[in-house]
Amino acid sequence: MNLPSTYLWDIENPKGYANAMGRYKTRRELAFLLAHVSEARQRVMDAGGGSGRFAMPLAERGHDVTVVDISQDALRLLHRRKHPRVSTRCADFLRQTFDNQFDVVIAIESIPSFTSVTLEDLFAKIHSVLRPGGRFVFTALNSRSWRHALHTLRGRKCVRYNVAGPTDYQTALRKAGFELLSMDGLMWMPFAVTSNSRLVPLFESIERALHLNRWLGQSPWLLVAAQRSSIE
């Protein structure tokens, strides 16, 4: 008997990413990700990859993707998609050891959820599973942004997240042995993360026209690409 999934953050769930905001974020995140992953076949780890929002498009482009996530429901959804280049491990990434090193590690919207360690320790763990010269691509909340300040002023009770500002992420990356390649901003939107407002495309156009992605200090979310040194 197939039990219904309790996992919300799926690409086909209207309460997850199957809405205007979800499509906007997925489009922007995937474009950034593909810009920093070689077209040649790569071994990719997706840390906190859920039901395969990015594992599937990467696998479809010929990459071998290992998704590590603690949600059995998320991985069940991913298994139903049956891609031969996608493997899974239901586990806490921080407590796992891996036999082989990866060419790329991605952590799209999962970094804030690693609350039991400092950013430097988290990035050091990711560094340890990457081959020399390997790349790390992730998204993270920006504690310096207008949206974060607005939530604080409203006294909104939020889930406790591992969140910092642009300079803090750069410092943690450097201490963990990474070189920053690129940083971009996104989600300059006055909508909830699951909004299906028809105005989302309009605000996306404004964001693009005004190059708001370059205003890193105030971007609610940050897209980050870094590289492990090839000589150590």
**C-alpha–C-alpha distance, residues 85 and 108, integer Å:** 19
- Which tokens hold the place of 137? 């691509």
Residue 99: its pLDDT value, please? 85
Helix (H, G, I), strand (E, B) or coil at 44: strand
Contact 204, 185 (CB under 8 A): no
Residue 3: its pLDDT value, please? 44
Residue 95: its pLDDT value, please? 94
The pLDDT tens digits of the residues spanning 145-156 come to: 988 877 776 665
The topology under which CATH files domain 20-228 is Rossmann fold (3.40.50)
Amino acid identity for residue 186 in this structure: L
Residue 48 Cα distances to 14, 20, 45, 147, angstroms:
20, 23, 9, 24
Q: In what order do the strands lie in the sheet with 178-186?
A: 86-90, 64-69, 43-47, 102-107, 130-141, 221-228, 178-186
- Which tokens hold the place of 66? 């290992």
Residue 158: its pLDDT value, please? 55
The three-point CA angle 179-180-186 to 5° equals 160
| Domain boundaries along the sequence of the chain | 20-228
Residue 150: its pLDDT value, please? 77
- Which tokens hold the place of 146? 């207008």
State pTM to two decimals. Answer: 0.93
Write the burial class of residue 118 (CB in 10 Å: 0-12 exposed, 13-18 middle, 19+ buried). Answer: middle
Stretches in the chain below the pLDDT threshold 50: 1-4
Residue 2: its pLDDT value, please? 46
Residue 13: its pLDDT value, please? 95
